[in-house]
Structure 1
Amino acid sequence: MVDSSQSLTALSRLLAEQATGLAQEVGNPLASPAYLDVVRRARHVDDLAEQVLKLCVQQSRDAGHTWQELGDLLGVTRQAAFQRFGKPIDPRTGEPMDKTVRMPDAAERAITIATAVLDGRMDEARQSFNAQVLEAFTDEVRANGLATVTGLVGAFEGFGEGEPFVRRIGDHTVVDIPLRYEAGDMKARVAFDADEKVAGIFILAPETP
């Protein structure tokens, strides 16, 4: 069985080889690179770097470093670091929780639903709500929530920069969508339950884990 230190060494060597090859390909002054091949190679380098980072975080945790230390180093909160790299144990089963996102269209659906809510097209949005949200998220709740946000950051101007962030938390698929307001940035959070119905929708400060 290969331990994590051996895996890290092997992956790091492979990453170095691939990154060197990429640098040589794009840095050759004698020929234009095959751009799609460059993108493909860069994507592979990015995937390898993510694997190396995960193993480094795992070894840091095994060595006793805290999620707070790792979050500070990565520029995120300790909760965000845990959500990205942690391996939580499901208290119901005693087994590691499955973090695989099983909704390939989660980001697209979340944007559609958030847009409908922000635009006031609630009949359209409610088609995706589960029973609890359908009962709780009334027009009055929506209006009060949007009024609170407007009081904090002004008028809504559109979606912000960056891609939606999709991950699985427990039994839910959660999508964060950057939003741009008159006086600051926020994010919409849409949570889908196991039946792919909306189990929660919020507008939050961007630093909220």
Structure 2
Amino acid sequence: MADSPQTLNALSARLAEQASVLAEAVGSPLASPAYLDLVRRALGVDDLADQVLKLCVQQSRDAGHTWQEIGDLLGVTRQAAFQRFGKPIDPRTGEPMDKTVHMADAAERAIEIVTAVLDGRMDEARQSFNAQVLEAFTDKVRGDGLATVAGLVGAFEGFGEGEPFVRRIGDHTVVDVPLRYEAGDMKARVAFDTDEKVAGIFILAPDTP
């Protein structure tokens, strides 16, 4: 961790430089093709800003600040802050857990499965379930769950704003898909196991960690 301040300084300097270049480009007269260059530059700024934020969070933790303090500052729960920035240790091995998402099409598959469940195309949805979910997620369980949600927020109207949120939690790839109902927003959560089969599917309040 001793090199973190130096790394943070270097990253911050690069971020400032790229942000300055972007600002200069935005302020200049633009021909249409130049807008794509702005997108490219903005992506670079966004990537550097994310790296700077991760290092700042890491240093805050090293300095003794809690996940609750960090979550409050970021406007999320302490669990959400930990899931994004934490470095959990696998109790089975004592090694840092792999947080890399290896399932490239997780978001697309989650949307397809959620759509099939909401539309009542359960034969199609069940093709993606693992054995435990296949046994547990009966038509009655589906109906009771959707009735509970309808009692809270009314009829389903479509997918909500924003992109699906994909991350690795333990051995699972977890996807949250925004949903829009007549009286409020919800989210569907689909968990895939290591065989890329559905290990869990839920409809939750949007602020559920």
CA distance in structure 1 between the partners assigned to 2:48 and 2:188 by the alignment: 30
Normalised TM-score (structure 2)? 0.98
CA distance in structure 1 between the partners assigned to 2:186 and 2:206 by the alignment: 5
Q: Deviations over 1:128-155 (max 9, x none)?
A: 0000000000000000000000001001
Aligned to 1:167: 167
Aligned to 1:121: 121
**Matched letter for residue 32 of structure 1:** A
**Matched letter for residue 154 of structure 1:** G
Aligned to 2:31: 32
Which runs of structure 1 show a deviation greater than 4 angstroms over 4 or more consecutive aligned residues? Answer: none
Aligned to 2:130: 130
CA distance in structure 2 between the partners assigned to 1:4 and 1:141 by the alignment: 50
**Matched letter for residue 87 of structure 2:** K
CA distance in structure 2 between the partners assigned to 1:84 and 1:97 by the alignment: 13
Asked if 1:74 corresponds to 2:68, the answer is no
Q: Deviations over 1:48-91 (max 9, x none)?
A: 00000000000000000000000000000000000000000000
Deviation at 1:31, TM superposition (A): 4.0
Asked if 1:200 corresponds to 2:193, the answer is no
Q: Structure 2 stretches of 5 or more lacking a match?
A: none
Q: What SS is found at the alignment partner of 2:186?
A: strand
Identity of aligned residues (%): 85
Give the alignment's Cα RMSD to 1 decimal: 1.1
CA distance in structure 1 between the partners assigned to 2:3 and 2:197 by the alignment: 40
Q: How many residues align?
A: 208
Deviation at 1:32, TM superposition (A): 3.3
Normalised TM-score (structure 1)? 0.98
CA distance in structure 1 between the partners assigned to 2:184 and 2:35 by the alignment: 37
Aligned to 1:92: 92
**Matched letter for residue 140 of structure 1:** K
Aligned to 1:3: 3
CA distance in structure 1 between the partners assigned to 2:31 and 2:54 by the alignment: 34
Aligned to 1:49: 49
CA distance in structure 1 between the partners assigned to 2:4 and 2:104 by the alignment: 30
Deviation at 1:122, TM superposition (A): 0.1
Name the CA shift for 1:162/1:146 in 2 (closer, same or farther; >3 Å): same
Asked if 1:182 corresponds to 2:182, the answer is yes
Deviation at 1:36, TM superposition (A): 1.3
Q: Deviations over 1:89-134 (max 9, x none)?
A: 0000000000000011000000000000000000000000000000
Deviation at 1:35, TM superposition (A): 1.3
